[in-house]
Amino acid sequence: MSRRILRSSRCRRSGGFSLIMVLLLLVVVTVLGVGAAQLSLVNERSARNDRDNEIAMQAAEAALVDAELDILGPNPGAAARLCLFNNKDVAPFVEGCGSRTSLGLCAPSAPGTTPAWMKADLSPGSKTSVAYGTFTGQAYVVGKGATSAALPRYIVEVMRNSGGWQANRLESASAGNVTHLFRVTAIGFGVDADTQVVLQTNVYKPTVSAGCP
């Protein structure tokens, strides 16, 4: 009788140990599965962010090109304003970045103060920055599939030219000979409008456009 009881006890112990091992294996498999799922989500999110940043970068670059056409031409668009970009006459550039035909044309900030481009409103609904194509007639697809959520935008800030754009030449300091450069600040948006890339370039326009006074 005692032998039977001993065998039964051993069988119960063996069965209990097997159950514990199975449960531990299930826990390990579950942890590994959850970890793999989280890693997959992180990789997907990272890939999406990279794509969004690339879309925003391309949009910002497109805005820079549009601004250069606005300043230098050729610009056959009906709203062209090439004559406003004169390296000697900077009257169209005002505090607050202008409106109408002077939209996005910003006067320089005083030395030691916040630069105009840092104060400018470059949001999608801005009333003081220029949306892509406004003065050039160019088109940019937005809001469809893997495209920008909003049109890229830019402002143009006038700056005094201190020279250095041509080899071995410095600009004269006399008031009558002062010339200016145009600093363009452009912003592009990703598929998510919160993804933004800002780029800058300086544009030198040595002479007025053909047909301008």
- In tens, the pLDDT along 29-57 reads 888 888 887 877 776 677 678 899 999 99
User: Per the domain annotation, does 213 fall within a domain?
Assistant: no
Q: Is there a domain that residue 154 lies in?
A: yes
- What is the model's pLDDT at position 11? 54
Of 66, 105, 65, nearest in space to 85 by CA: 105
Structural domain contains residue 84: yes
Inside any domain, residue 10? no
Q: Is residue 63 part of a domain?
A: yes
Per-residue pLDDT band for 6 (boundaries 50, 70, 90) equals very low
pLDDT tens string 123-177: 999 999 999 999 999 999 998 888 999 999 999 999 988 765 554 554 454 445 6
| pLDDT at residue 16, as a whole number | 63
pLDDT tier at 8, thresholds 50, 70, 90: low
Tell me, what's the pLDDT at 56? 96
Judge whether 159 and 30 are in contact, CB under 8 Å: no
Which one, of 148, 147, 149, 154, lies nearest residue 132 by Cα? Answer: 154
Query: In the chain, how many domains are there?
Result: 1
Whether residue 21 is contained in a domain is answered as no
Asked whether residue 23 is domain-assigned, the answer is: no
Is 14 a member of any domain?
no
> Confidence band (pLDDT; 50, 70, 90) for 77?
confident
Q: Strand, helix or coil at 159?
A: strand
User: b/e per residue, 48-84, with b = 16+ CB within 10 A?
Assistant: eeeebeebbebbbbbbbbbbbbbbebebebeebbbeb
